[in-house]
Amino acid sequence: MRLEELDAGERQLWDAYARGRPVDVRHDSAEAVRPAVRAECIMALLLGAGPEPAPGERPALRLSGASVTGRLDLQFAEISAPIVLTDCDFDESPLLQGARFRELALTGCALPGLTADMAQVDGRLVLSHCHLSGPLVLTRTQIHSDLDLSHTVITAPGGEAISAVRLSTGGDLLCTDLAVQGGFRLSGASISGEFDLEGASLSNPGRDALDAYHIQITEDFTFHPGFSAEGRIILSGADVAAAIGFCGARLKNPGDIALEAVDVTVSRNFDLGVGLTVSGGIKLDGSRVGTRLSFHDATLTHPTGTALSLRLVQARETDLRTRQPIDGTVDADNARLGTLHDAPGTWPARLRLSETAYDALAAPLTALERLEWVRRSTDGYLPQPYEQLAATYRRLGHEDEARTVLLAKQRHRRVGLPAHTRVWGYLQDATVGYGYRPARAALWLMALLALGTFFFATHPPAPLEAAKAPPFSAVFYALDLLIPIIGFGQKAAFAPHGGGQWLAYGLTAAGWVLATTVTAGISRAISRP
């Protein structure tokens, strides 16, 4: 490019480049239209066609207020000078594929899109307060410092607005107040710092609003406050060395999964509470939370399916005290929830608790209250939820509450048994409470003994052999009938007649039933969990 071909603004930029001085071409024009600077001029400067810098000078391209015309094509170029563009408009998408930059900063610019896949930036890459009407491509881009997308608007409805697969940053990924229409794909990215989406708005209805599959973050992954998304958020396989926070966020993907975070590893807290509102399901299956998994004060709505899936989740502490009862099923099959915080007023109507384990209940409540929680399970009869609850009460020293829970387990089990087996179950329940109410057997024995003693005292049976019969005792005769193993010599010596004979049969049968149920109950109690 010859100097005589440059207009006034371009000549000013040409002269300022070697010294690194900023140029605002708007100062030289009284027109409302931004002065044009040809992309050809910028490319010539960055590729070495400009004046040689004097000793001590540092070249830099610092341009403000220009309308960049033509295609800025720096593919696979090595640019040693920093590039700082402010309030510039581009009529074509810059091509920066495979290029290497010292620093690249675009602030307040308007672009049809930007392609910088496989680029390398030794310092920061800044695209803040910009407006892109086409996609931003950062696939396999390496940035040694921060990537700043704060306050930028990127619009590519129905496609990938941001494609940053395997992006690598040596600092933070700053997306504060970023607005995206279209998909935001970050799968396999590595962020050596914080990923901040505070106040960001992602919209891709019916599709993936954010795909951060297998992302690695060395600090916090922050979606609060003010974050909103329409479409699915995918965090599956993510590894976050600090915490994940969704406090105050709004996720919307009705009728489908709003947040998919399967097999996520979080070293500290995974906070999905304090004002979080979700229309759609949350799926956290297999995730591992170092300290606290919280849904405190959250609102979850997915009435036609599983609103919250915690299958195989592991956490030291879990808070399920949502703002209101979760509208939809909560599936905690095989979860390990640590210390569980919940409240009866926010228990979901539908629960799955198969093999769910917890170390302690922050609010143990009474056994009758907790049984209402267990009975909300939609899986039918399962012994483990009862045994887990009973074991929790035992650790607290509440043995009576534990027996109440195990008795409820047997009653629930009885519902699904054949009719003849249910009859035997009712007998065990009425007599000894399946072994968990042993005092009942004593009460039945005393009542039957009193009945037998009173009857045979007033209607003594006749001796079989008067000369050999011992003195008659109504008490021991009734005991002899009731207790099938121990004999007092009364039953063999006297024979009742009439109604007394039928009473004797009844007492003998009742004795065998009591003995059998007590034996079964003792066996069950000894082998209890």
Instruction: Say whether pLDDT at 523 is over 80.
Output: no
Could you tell me the pLDDT band of residue 397, with boundaries at 50, 70 and 90? confident
Short-list 107, 153, 109, 106, CA closest to 134? 153
Q: What is residue 522's predicted lDDT score, i.e. its pLDDT?
A: 58
> Of the spans 32-36, 297-301, 421-425, which averages the highest pLDDT?
297-301
What is the Cα–Cα distance from 330 to 181, expressed in whole angstroms? 31
60 and 17 Cβ atoms separated by less than 8 Å? yes
Task: Spell out the long-range contacts of 114-119 with Cβ–Cβ below 8 A and sequence spacing 24 or more.
Answer: 116/141, 117/141, 117/163
Taking CA atoms, 360 is separated from 342, 393, 422, 529, in Å, by 11, 9, 34, 16
Q: What is residue 422's predicted lDDT score, i.e. its pLDDT?
A: 73
Taking CA atoms, 424 is separated from 141, 421, 428, 446, 448, in Å, by 72, 5, 6, 22, 20
Q: What is residue 379's predicted lDDT score, i.e. its pLDDT?
A: 76
CB-based contacts of 358: which residues, under 8 Å, 6+ apart? Answer: 318, 336, 337, 338, 339, 340, 388, 392
**Element at 177 (helix H, strand E):** none
Could you tell me the pLDDT band of residue 401, with boundaries at 50, 70 and 90? confident
Instruction: Say whether pLDDT at 428 is over 80.
Output: no
Short-list 154, 85, 83, 144, CA closest to 113? 154
- Complete DSSP assignment for 46-100: HTT-SPPPPTT----EEEES-EEES--B-TT-EE-S-EEEES-EESS--B-TT-E
What is the Cα–Cα distance from 187 to 196, expressed in whole angstroms? 16
What is the Cα–Cα distance from 437 to 99, expressed in whole angstroms? 80
- As a whole number, mean pLDDT of residues 398-404 equals 82
What is the Cα–Cα distance from 86 to 130, expressed in whole angstroms? 9
Q: Which of 42-46, 408-412, 422-426, 493-497 has the least mean pLDDT? A: 422-426
3-state SS of 321-356 is CCCCCCEEEEECCCCECCEEECCHHHCCCEEECCCC
Instruction: Say whether pLDDT at 27 is over 60.
Output: yes
Q: What is residue 1's predicted lDDT score, i.e. its pLDDT?
A: 57
- Residue 26 neighbours by CB distance under 10 Å: 15
103 and 83 Cβ atoms separated by less than 8 Å? yes
SS3 label, residue 108: coil
54 and 94 Cβ atoms separated by less than 8 Å? no
Q: What is residue 234's predicted lDDT score, i.e. its pLDDT?
A: 97
Q: Give the whole-number percent of the chain exceeding pLDDT 70.
A: 92
Instruction: Say whether pLDDT at 514 is over 80.
Output: no
Short-list 477, 490, 381, CA closest to 425? 381
- As a whole number, mean pLDDT of residues 433-456 equals 74
Could you tell me the pLDDT band of residue 517, with boundaries at 50, 70 and 90? low
pLDDT tens digit sequence for 206-244: 999 999 999 999 999 999 889 999 999 999 999 999 999
pLDDT tens digit sequence for 339-389: 999 999 899 888 999 899 999 888 878 888 888 888 888 777 888 888 888
500 Rama class: left (phi>0) / alpha (psi -120 to 50) / beta: alpha
Report the predicted TM-score, pTM, of the whole model to 2 decimal places.
Answer: 0.81
Short-list 213, 75, 287, CA closest to 39? 75
Mean pLDDT value across the chain: 88
pLDDT tens digit sequence for 141-152: 999 999 999 999
The strand pair at 104-107 and 494-495 is best described as unpaired
Instruction: Say whether pLDDT at 492 is over 80.
Output: no
- As a whole number, mean pLDDT of residues 16-22 equals 91
CB-based contacts of 440: which residues, under 8 Å, 6+ apart? Answer: 430, 431, 432, 433
Q: What is residue 286's predicted lDDT score, i.e. its pLDDT?
A: 96
CA 117 to chain centre: 33
Q: What is residue 113's predicted lDDT score, i.e. its pLDDT?
A: 97
CA 159 to chain centre: 28
Q: What is residue 146's predicted lDDT score, i.e. its pLDDT?
A: 97
Q: What is residue 249's predicted lDDT score, i.e. its pLDDT?
A: 96
Instruction: Say whether pLDDT at 525 is over 60.
Output: no
Q: What is residue 271's predicted lDDT score, i.e. its pLDDT?
A: 96
Short-list 236, 270, 231, CA closest to 251? 231
Q: What is residue 518's predicted lDDT score, i.e. its pLDDT?
A: 65
Could you tell me the pLDDT band of residue 528, with boundaries at 50, 70 and 90? low
Max Cα–Cα distance, the chain, nearest Å: 149
What is the Cα–Cα distance from 138 to 190, expressed in whole angstroms? 13
190 and 170 Cβ atoms separated by less than 8 Å? no
pLDDT tens digit sequence for 92-113: 999 999 999 999 999 999 999 9
What is the Cα–Cα distance from 441 to 449, expressed in whole angstroms? 12
CB-based contacts of 147: which residues, under 8 Å, 6+ apart? Answer: 124, 125, 138, 167, 169, 171, 172, 173, 174
